[in-house]
Chain A
Amino acid sequence: MALKFHADDLVENPTPRVPVTLCLDTSGSMMGEKVRELVKGVNLFYDAIDEDDDAHDSAEVSIVEFNSSASLIQDFASIENLKRIESIDASGGTALGEGVNLALDTLEQRKMIYSNAGVLYYQPWLVLMTDGQPNGRPEELKRAIDRVTEMVAQKKLTVFPIGIGADADMTVLARFSPNRDPLRLRGLSFKEFFEWLSKSVSRVSRSTPGDEVKLDLNGLRGWAEL
């Protein structure tokens, strides 16, 4: 007699997740074309993830904005549950430290949810984008830098600090990224960055134990100043 596996003879494990947090500067200096291009870039990122077979099932994205304070404007969600952004208001100061700390707290909570549900996950990603100098509470900034650098050293976080325009404080951004220089966007090349980001998320979601995920940073040189 022929041996057969029926549907209930096999199990279906949930797809391992790639948590990505976008930590975005929405201070007054981002007002106008910068924030409009940023919104377009984020929506393009969503579209690219949606169209990618691998990233579609694994990527989960959250957005933290920081201006005079920090807030979670999009909690972690899979691409099917992510609403496209119509606009973001830009105003106030640049509480960068507060923003990063909230982003890290959100990531930790998400990892806890995965663990409790038995869902496997990849190393989380934090994308930090700012166009100015931080002017939030200094102790929050220091705490954020310490947390990020410690997690990066322990290989528990991949961080991409991105400076927008000539006024971005690249020295502060560099303190968040001991292993990789921060990038400065050439003009308002959000589109190119987010295209690269979606491809990189896809590459990670295809990786298996022992794979070294090469993030093709050379591909960024065409549009960013390293």
Chain B
Amino acid sequence: MFNVFHHYTRGRGHELDGTPCQDRTQYLSCNGVQAICLADGAGSASQAELGAQAVVEEGCALLVERFSELLASADAERTRIELLDRLLSKLRQLATQHRIAPDDLASTFLGVAVAGDHFLGVHIGDGVIGYLKDDELRVVSAPRNSEFVNQTTFLTSQNAAQSMRLFRGSLDGVGGFILMSDGAGESLFDARSGQFAPACSKIIATVGAGVPRRNGNFKFRTQLQKLIDLQVRSATKDDCSIAVLGRTVP
């Protein structure tokens, strides 16, 4: 069983130019599967925040519903196409509703699901996914920008299926997962060394060790939200988001 924390906050740049936060996070637990997803809306997409919200909701539903099937799939190429089709279908539906193009809803996508003894994950674009394995925080899926820092792949990009990264494995020795957008990564991920900041292990440990209050809320939520809103946000002008699964202490 994993405790969960996810949070997104509007960047200083967007606050200055009056645009909304385009990062979104979501969590879903159903039938013994827990899924967290994160999306970072494209700056050029006029309704990126709507697209990001739609894909984190659809992504969580998708990972929960098809966890066993995805875990057993032997055809990675087909799986990539199927996953992308479902997320794009959601975006096309939303685009029709709002009379805009799917490109106006473009975002990156990061998702991780756990159930029983296994985990699986999906990643398109920048942002980073890591996991705590045998007490060591490791990168599962690194940011993928093009040569230039302000270019990456989105769900609506032509090469989205080819650039989608899929991963799965055993939960043996795994203490938790962390997903973050590039904005949060500015202070939580060292791009030069490819290592996470020490704060990430602390965050996962804190989430895992959390004990729910009588009302079901966790004390760490408020504390972590404050830390993200103040310290992580102050290191960048971009929106910041993180999603964490921390294995509960027996």
A-B contact pairs, 26 of them (CB 8 A): A3-B206, A3-B227, A4-B227, A5-B231, A10-B197, A10-B231, A10-B232, A10-B235, A11-B189, A13-B186, A13-B189, A118-B191, A118-B192, A118-B193, A123-B148, A204-B150, A209-B40, A209-B42, A209-B149, A209-B182, A210-B42, A210-B44, A210-B150, A210-B151, A211-B150, A212-B44
Known contacts A3-B220, A209-B152, A211-B150; is-contact A11 B187 (Cβ 8 Å): yes
Known contacts A11-B189, A11-B190, A12-B187; is-contact A5 B148 (Cβ 8 Å): no
CA gap between A108 and B150 in the complex, in Å: 19
CA gap between A123 and B187 in the complex, in Å: 23
Known contacts A209-B125, A210-B42; is-contact A122 B197 (Cβ 8 Å): no
CA gap between A206 and B40 in the complex, in Å: 16
Taking A11-B188, A11-B189 as known contacts, 6 extra A-B pairs with beta carbons closer than 8 A to each other, sorted by chain A number, are A9-B198, A11-B197, A119-B192, A207-B43, A210-B42, A210-B150
Closest 7 CB pairs of A and B: A210-B42, A118-B192, A211-B43, A9-B199, A120-B149, A209-B152, A16-B149
Residues of B close to A156: CB separation below 8 A: 147
Known contacts A11-B189, A11-B197; is-contact A208 B148 (Cβ 8 Å): no
Q: Is A178 an interface residue (CB 8 A)?
A: no
Residues of B close to A122: CB separation below 8 A: 148-150
Q: Is A14 an interface residue (CB 8 A)?
A: yes
Min CB distance, A115 to chain B, in Å? 9
Residue of A nearest to B239 (CB): A208
Residues of A close to B191: CB separation below 8 A: 13, 118, 120
From B108, B188, B223, contact of A3 by CB (8 A): B223
CA gap between A16 and B148 in the complex, in Å: 9
Residue of B nearest to A210 (CB): B42
Residue of B nearest to A211 (CB): B43
Residues of B close to A210: CB separation below 8 A: 41-45, 48, 106, 150-152, 154
Residues of B within 8 A of A (CB): 13, 40-45, 48, 106, 108, 125-126, 145, 147-152, 154, 182-183, 185-193, 197-199, 202, 206, 220, 223-224, 227, 231-232, 235, 237-238
Q: Is A223 an interface residue (CB 8 A)?
A: no
Residues of B close to A204: CB separation below 8 A: 150
Min CB distance, B101 to chain A, in Å? 14
Known contacts A3-B202, A10-B187; is-contact A209 B43 (Cβ 8 Å): yes
Residues of A close to B182: CB separation below 8 A: 208-209
Give the total of A residues in contact with B, Cβ under 8 Å: 30
Residues of A close to B13: CB separation below 8 A: 206, 208
Which residues in window 112-170 of A have CB below 8 A to B? 117-123, 156
Known contacts A2-B223, A3-B227; is-contact A208 B199 (Cβ 8 Å): no
Q: Is A8 an interface residue (CB 8 A)?
A: yes
Min CB distance, A186 to chain B, in Å? 31
Mask for A191-213, Cβ within 8 A of B = 1, else 0? 00000000000001011111111
Residues of A close to B238: CB separation below 8 A: 208
Q: Would you call B147 and A117 a contact (CB within 8 A)?
A: no
Q: Would you call A208 and B192 a contact (CB within 8 A)?
A: no
Residues of A close to B220: CB separation below 8 A: 3
From A10, A206, A211, contact of B188 by CB (8 A): A10
Residues of A close to B108: CB separation below 8 A: 209
Residue of B nearest to A118 (CB): B192
Min CB distance, A77 to chain B, in Å? 20
Mask for A71-90, Cβ within 8 A of B = 1, else 0? 00000000000000000000
Residues of B close to A11: CB separation below 8 A: 187-190, 197
Residues of A close to B187: CB separation below 8 A: 10-13
Q: Would you call A5 and B202 a contact (CB within 8 A)?
A: yes
CA gap between A119 and B184 in the complex, in Å: 17
Residue of B nearest to A212 (CB): B44
CA gap between A85 and B187 in the complex, in Å: 37
CA gap between A37 and B229 in the complex, in Å: 47
